[in-house]
Structure 1
Amino acid sequence: MQLDLLIDLHIGGYRQGPGGDDVTRRAIGLSGLKEKQGLHIADIGCGTGASTLVLAQELDAHIEAVDFLPPFLEKLEAEAQKQDLSERITTHAISMDALPFADTSLDAIWSEGAIYNIGFENGVRAWRQYLKPGGILAVSELTWLTDERPAELDQHWAEEYPEVATASAKMAILEANGYTPIGYFPLPPHCWLDNYYRPMQARFADFLARHDQSDAAQSIVAAEEKEIALYERFASYVSYGFYVAAKL
């Protein structure tokens, strides 16, 4: 029931987490993929496909779009058809820890705001086998922007995602697991507010009405509002960091 409610809340969003088409394009620029042809790329935890569509628009590539929620993939497929990109995108309704790709078969693995589902260190280690030598890993991940934070913010994210850490710590994990970092930048506030939180807030009233103001639906909205309020107060301390690295 909880998962069904979360799907219902988020399927109406262009993005299911902080990000932006401009950010995806910036990471593409850092990756060096734009100059290559015939690429084979997996977009893992793609949601309704915002990043998938940008990859298909910008690159000479076939994109394997992976998400465990079929309703999200159905929305992606419909949008890909509208944009005449269907032949360049294949969807897979599977878990990100059970990928169907052959070893060293991918030129790049993309994952915006989703690797936390299996943990950053576990993900970069597990996914490395699928990349060709020199293949690109591009992921956005919750990141502290400072060494010290307000206790309230620290406690919230330590409970929600214990692997949250500074960019330098994330870079060290990449290096320890066989990657060379080639680019990093933090997501700016518009990726959180304009592209994710504000559109979600605009859906709250209809979401609650559809579910008869149920306790479960109200609990979800309350949790989201708490997170939004924390970000509004403490945006200078935390964001997603976008990490681009190459497999050694």
Structure 2
Amino acid sequence: MTELELLIDFHVDAERQGPGSGEDTLKALSFIDINPEASLKIADIGCGTGAQTLTLAQNLNGCITAVDLFADFLTKLNDRANKLNLENKITTLEKSMDALPFDNEEYDILWSEGAIYNIGFESGLKNWKRFLKTNGYIAVSEMTWKTKNRPKEIEEHWNNEYPEIDTASGKIKILEENGFSPVGFFFLSEKSWLDNYYSPMEKRFDAFLQKHENSDAAKAIVEGERQEIALYRRYKDYLSYGFYIAKKLPS
């Protein structure tokens, strides 16, 4: 297996491929002015196995296009949707988020939890904006500094991993400069990181290593995740995912 195939195998059976919770999804949704009678078109971009997709489908009237680059994740999402009788509300699409085949102003809501970093926050806003109806909403969670100043270790780590990391004020400025009006913001809680993402991940380490016969590649993935978890636990007061909800303004 390649490193990418191993990573997919490690994450495919997880409920989530990043920090979050159903409560976070609903909280973000609460900032959006929704007509309960309207049938909405929603795109969930970088959906993974779709924990948030299912929450949206259970709480919105309309159809969701769930987009991910990896077919294995979409297969899991389809299985979960079928079990919850939500298959008529969710359509999966295997595509890269920088090559979406959508029409201009096709969607009422664009959603992306913990995934826009793959093409960059500003690049994602610029690339996806045209797919959103005027006065439609975008909701994305994005790695964000919680403080102006940080310890050197965590500062250097995340500036290397994701140079676009910034404070909430910096991210909100980017939204405003790209034709969006912010309507809501909050940080994900420690529970969304530890209870919902990292603790379940740690429980998968031994089985994953055993499955792949303790190969060097598998051990490298586990070690990398362990280091990330340790960094989060040490520096959780300085960073989190920020959830940004904004309305597209008329041109």
Q: Report if TM-score (shorter chain) is over 0.5.
A: yes
Q: Which residue of 1 aligns with 2:191?
A: 190
Distance 1:143 1:122 in 2: 16
Distance 2:36 2:208 in 1: 43
Q: Which residue of 2 aligns with 1:221?
A: 222
Distance 1:206 1:7 in 2: 15
Q: Which residue of 2 aligns with 1:154?
A: 155
Deviations 1:53-99 (A, max 9, x none): 00100000200000000000000001100100000000000100111
Aligned-partner SS, 1:35:
coil
Distance 2:80 2:35 in 1: 23
* C-alpha contact 1:34 1:58 (8 A) present in aligned 2: no
Once the two structures are superposed, the pairs formed by residues 24-173 of structure 1 within 5 Å of their partners are 24-33=25-34, 35=36, 37-173=38-174
Task: Say whether 1:23 aligns with 2:53.
Answer: no
Distance 2:97 2:46 in 1: 7
The structural deviation recorded for 1:34 is: 6.2
The structural deviation recorded for 1:32 is: 2.0
**Number of equivalenced pairs:** 248
> Counterpart amino acid of 2:13?
G
Distance 1:244 1:66 in 2: 19
> Counterpart amino acid of 1:196?
Y
Distance 1:140 1:60 in 2: 22
1:242–1:36 distance in 2 versus 1, CA, 3 Å: farther
Aligned-partner SS, 1:31:
coil
Distance 1:226 1:147 in 2: 24
Unpaired runs of 5+ in structure 1? none
Task: Say whether 1:2 aligns with 2:3.
Answer: yes
Distance 2:151 2:37 in 1: 44
* C-alpha contact 1:15 1:48 (8 A) present in aligned 2: yes
The structural deviation recorded for 1:33 is: 2.9
* C-alpha contact 1:28 1:34 (8 A) present in aligned 2: no
Unpaired runs of 5+ in structure 2? none
The structural deviation recorded for 1:164 is: 0.5
Deviations 1:94-120 (A, max 9, x none): 100111110001001000000000000
Distance 1:167 1:234 in 2: 17
TM-score scaled to structure 2, two decimals?
0.98
Moved over 6 A (4+): none
TM-score scaled to structure 1, two decimals?
0.99
1:76–1:221 distance in 2 versus 1, CA, 3 Å: same
1:73–1:143 distance in 2 versus 1, CA, 3 Å: same
Distance 2:66 2:51 in 1: 11
Distance 1:44 1:151 in 2: 33
> Counterpart amino acid of 2:24?
V
